Amino acid sequence: QVVIHFDSISPIDGKALISCEFLLLGFGLLESGCVSLKNEVNIMMKNVIDIVFGGITYWLFGFGLTYGKLYSNPFFAIGYFAVDADLDEMGPVFSTFLFQLSFATTATTIVSGAMAERCNFRAYCLFSLCNTIVYCVPAGWIWGSHGFLNTLGAIDIGGSGAVHLVGGSSAFVAAWMLGPRLGRYDHGNEPLPMGSPTNALLGLFMLWWGWLAFSSGSVFGVSGHKWKFSARAAVTTINASFGGGVVGLIYSYIRKKGKFDILDLISAVLGSLVSVTGGCAIYRPWEAIVIGAIGGGLACFGIPFFDWLRIDDPVGATSVHVIGPFCTTGLSAFWGVLAIGLFADGETLLSLTKGRAGLFKGGNAYLLGVQTLAAVSFSLWAGFITFLLLWIINKFIPIRMEAHEELLGADLVEHGIRRSGVGVSRALSALGSH
């Protein structure tokens, strides 16, 4: 990741960045397909907000929190306010900015899924402005040259920790603070029907390809041997999704007695992608299948678990993005980040691991220990700051929509879009009886 390549960044990178944005588009579509029809537009709008508001604050101070040179201590940096660069720095600074910007907006987007269908739009806008801080500080820990995790030797190539664990922890806290949707658990834990399964699957496809670009782009550069690791990262990424997909299909086949549930499969594939991306370039292909299968399994079992906790997350974002039991002890320990401590190749060519190897590769427990510290730090930071932000925002604008607004749907209430077949009249009568 960036700490490694900042000064050896290469001309080719710019092209890869754009494909990364597919992640965001994929999340947008997936979320829009998962929510009910009356909130479909609203959640796409929230993704637009993530880019516009999240982007502005990232440009203003976020990038500087991660890479700033004016001042730094092991926990944060300061500098690069309103990012600009002169000719000699222009290439690496702007390339890194674009790549990290897509990471930052992805971390925010994950949260929008967990808050879907019941979060006030204005409150969300405010949250989107502030959320930069949730991502940028821990990104500096692991990727900034000042960061304590970086100094200790923790590894996170494609963002399992700094992007997806951070995003998932935020999502968990946000979903918990908002509470479940009205009537969500009135009839047991079975999920509410998806508005558009086709869009959700289309989103999955986009995420899939976006992730390939993301992972291989994380080891970007053509100089020397980098491109080989980039190809390897793509192979491990796709292989992990094979493992996750198979687990998802089996899980769904058993749970639904012979039927194949869309959401189970989507969760499993996403779970596998999230779990492999942190160490994508330093796994062997067959290990990636194992890692992805475990990651996918955790994502599947996470859904009923969180439902049992009565935390309502329409897109399953919490379980997908936490992958590994950030908030519970039942699920295996922060799988995505920890796996690096187990499976990392101790290759010496790019020195991605600074010569250290995972426990299963002849290394000692040091790397595993550092990775555990990283996972704990990411989760606690993201959970706590998200709580703080939403708690403060809630003082000014109630983060939960009014009951009647929720029943009418955000598309109508926030954007004036009325569509037939959504059952607003039914919602209104339900409101009367509530």
Q: Which is nearer to a second copy, 104 or 149 (CB)?
A: 104
Applying CB under 8 A, among 69, 228, 310, 434 the residue interacting with a second copy is 228
Q: Does 424 bind a second copy (CB under 8 A)?
A: no
68-97: contacts with a second copy (CB under 8 A): 82-84, 87, 90-91, 94-95, 97
Bridge partners for 72 per DSSP: 77
Q: Does 222 bind a second copy (CB under 8 A)?
A: yes
363-382: contacts with a second copy (CB under 8 A): none
What are the C-alpha distances in Å from 95 to residues 146, 211, 310, 326, 398? 20, 18, 42, 32, 38
Applying CB under 8 A, among 259, 308, 329, 362 the residue interacting with a second copy is 259
For residues 333 and 326, give the distance between their C-alpha atoms in angstroms, rounded to a whole number.
Answer: 7
Q: Which is nearer to a second copy, 39 or 377 (CB)?
A: 39
Applying CB under 8 A, among 67, 76, 176, 229 the residue interacting with a second copy is 229
Q: Does 285 bind a second copy (CB under 8 A)?
A: yes
Q: Does 404 bind a second copy (CB under 8 A)?
A: no
Q: Which helix (H) or strand (E) holds 73?
A: strand 71-73
What is the CA angle 274-219-280, rounded to 5? Answer: 35
Indicate the residue type of 276: V
- How many CA within 13 A on the CB side of residue 391? 7
3-state DSSP of 2-48: HHHHCCCCCCCHHHHHHHHHHHHHHHHHHHHHHCCHHHHHHHHHHHH
Structural tokens at position 279:
């160490």
Q: Which is nearer to a second copy, 122 or 400 (CB)?
A: 122
Coil/strand/helix, residue 162: helix
Q: How far is the CB of 241 from a second copy (least distance, A)?
A: 7
| DSSP-based helix, strand, coil % in the chain, nearest 5 | 70, 0, 30
177-196: contacts with a second copy (CB under 8 A): 193-194, 196
Return all residues near 165 (Cβ < 8 A) that are at least 6 apart.
321, 322, 323, 324, 326, 334, 336, 337, 375, 378, 379, 382
Applying CB under 8 A, among 170, 199, 218, 267 the residue interacting with a second copy is 199
315, 119 in Cβ contact below 8 A? no
Applying CB under 8 A, among 192, 262, 397, 424 the residue interacting with a second copy is 262
Applying CB under 8 A, among 2, 4, 45, 155 the residue interacting with a second copy is 45
323-362: contacts with a second copy (CB under 8 A): 347, 349
Q: Which is nearer to a second copy, 37 or 388 (CB)?
A: 37
Applying CB under 8 A, among 2, 34, 44, 393 the residue interacting with a second copy is 44
Query: How many residues comprise the chain?
Result: 434
Interface stretch with a second copy, choices 109-117, 260-268, 311-319, 387-395 (CB under 8 A): 260-268
Q: Does 397 bind a second copy (CB under 8 A)?
A: no
Q: Kindly write out the interface string for residues 12-41 of this chain, putting x where it contacts a second copy by CB under 8 A and - elsewhere.
A: xxxxxxxx-xx-xx--xx--x-------xx
Q: Kindly write out the interface string for residues 48-67 of this chain, putting x where it contacts a second copy by CB under 8 A and - elsewhere.
A: xx-xxx-xx--x--------
Q: Which is nearer to a second copy, 173 or 407 (CB)?
A: 407
144-173: contacts with a second copy (CB under 8 A): none
Applying CB under 8 A, among 284, 388, 400, 431 the residue interacting with a second copy is 284
Nearest-CA neighbor of 326 among 277, 386, 381?
A: 381
For residues 27 and 47, give the distance between their C-alpha atoms in angstroms, rounded to a whole number.
Answer: 8
Q: How far is the CB of 26 from a second copy (least distance, A)?
A: 10
71, 79 in Cβ contact below 8 A? yes
Q: Tell me the number of residues near a second copy by CB under 8 A.
A: 97
Q: Does 256 bind a second copy (CB under 8 A)?
A: yes
Q: How far is the CB of 119 from a second copy (least distance, A)?
A: 14
Burial of 402 (0-12, 13-18, 19+ CB in 10 A): exposed
Q: Does 273 bind a second copy (CB under 8 A)?
A: no
Calculate Rg over the CA atoms of the chain.
21
Interface stretch with a second copy, choices 45-53, 170-178, 381-389, 392-400 (CB under 8 A): 45-53
Coil/strand/helix, residue 153: coil
Q: How far is the CB of 16 from a second copy (least distance, A)?
A: 6
Q: Which is nearer to a second copy, 232 or 321 (CB)?
A: 232
For residues 345 and 337, give the distance between their C-alpha atoms in angstroms, rounded to a whole number.
Answer: 15
Q: How far is the CB of 155 from a second copy (least distance, A)?
A: 19
Indicate the residue type of 281: A
